[in-house]
Amino acid sequence: MIFAGANQFRKVVADYDVEYRRQVKLKTNEKYRIRVKYIATNCNWLLFASTDRDSGDFSVKNYKPIHKCIPLNKNKMCDSKLVARKFKDRIVSHHTLGFEKFRI
C-alpha cells in the first residue's frame, strides 16, 4: 500500500486500531519510517512502513497479519481528533440539532 505521507499512515493505523478494538504502539516516530506493533506480548502482528528511496512514496515494507491477542474495550488512539474526523460530516449536516442528540 502507498500513502501520501507518515501523517496519513498514522491516521489509517488509528482508524484500523479503533475499528478492530486493538491497542497498538507506534515504535518509531520519525517522518520517514514508522513501526506499528500491538501492546500484547503474545501477538506477532507487525506493520512497518517507510519512505521509498526511489519513488519517495510512503509505503508498507513489512506486514505480519496474524493476531494472537484479544480485542480490547479501551483504546488510547481513540481521541477527540479521531472522533471529530469521523463524525464531522454528520455534525455539520445536522447543525440544528443540539449537542444532547449526539450522545449515545
pLDDT tens, the chain, 104 aa long: 889 888 899 888 888 887 887 777 877 667 789 998 888 778 888 899 999 988 889 999 999 988 777 777 777 777 778 777 777 787 778 777 766 766 65
pTM: 0.69
Scanning 1-104, the segments in alpha helix (DSSP H) are 6-19, 80-93
Q: Could you tell me how far CA 74 lies from the centroid of its own chain?
A: 14
CA 21 → CA 24, 66, 72, distances in Å? 10, 15, 5
How many angstroms separate the CA atoms of 93 and 90, rounded? 5
Q: Dihedrals φ, ψ of 24, to 5°?
A: -105, 165
**Beta-carbon-side half-sphere exposure of residue 4 (alpha carbons within 13 Å):** 4
